[in-house]
Amino acid sequence: MTPEGKVVALIRARVKEANGEVRKCSWEGVRGAPDLLVLLPGVHAWIEAKAHNGALKPHQVREHERLQKAGCKVFVVYGEDQAESLVSHLVALSRSVEP
């Protein structure tokens, strides 16, 4: 498994443990879509997963900015440690907004 694949696998596992959903996304005719859509109660976030030494490409930056301008939350994580921290934050946030 690639280093980026390990980051994606960790995100999927942690979100599933929190009873959330993860979708792998690709959009026809659009380059730069974030890798994952994370769905937790009251929290929906796009996540771009990168290896520790990964870098965003210009088309990814442009698409992330478009999503953010439309009000979407877009996060970029570099490596498993950042992924773990972000998912923990999103899970805690979802628990604070659950009815």
User: How far apart, in whole angstroms, are the C-alpha atoms of residue 87 and residue 98?
Assistant: 16
pTM of the model: 0.91
81, pLDDT greater than 90: yes
Domains identified in the chain, total number: 1
Domain limits at 45?
Answer: 3-97
How far lies 52's CA from each of 2, 6, 21, 57, 80, in Å? 12, 11, 24, 15, 8
Residues 5, 90: Cα–Cα separation, whole Å: 20
Answer whether 16's CB lies under 8 Å from 73's CB: no
* CATH code of 55's domain: 3.40.1350.10
Q: In this predicted model, which residue has the larger pLDDT, 28 or 14?
A: 14
User: Over the stretch 25-62, which tens digit does the pLDDT of each residue have?
Assistant: 888 888 899 999 999 999 999 999 999 898 999 999 99
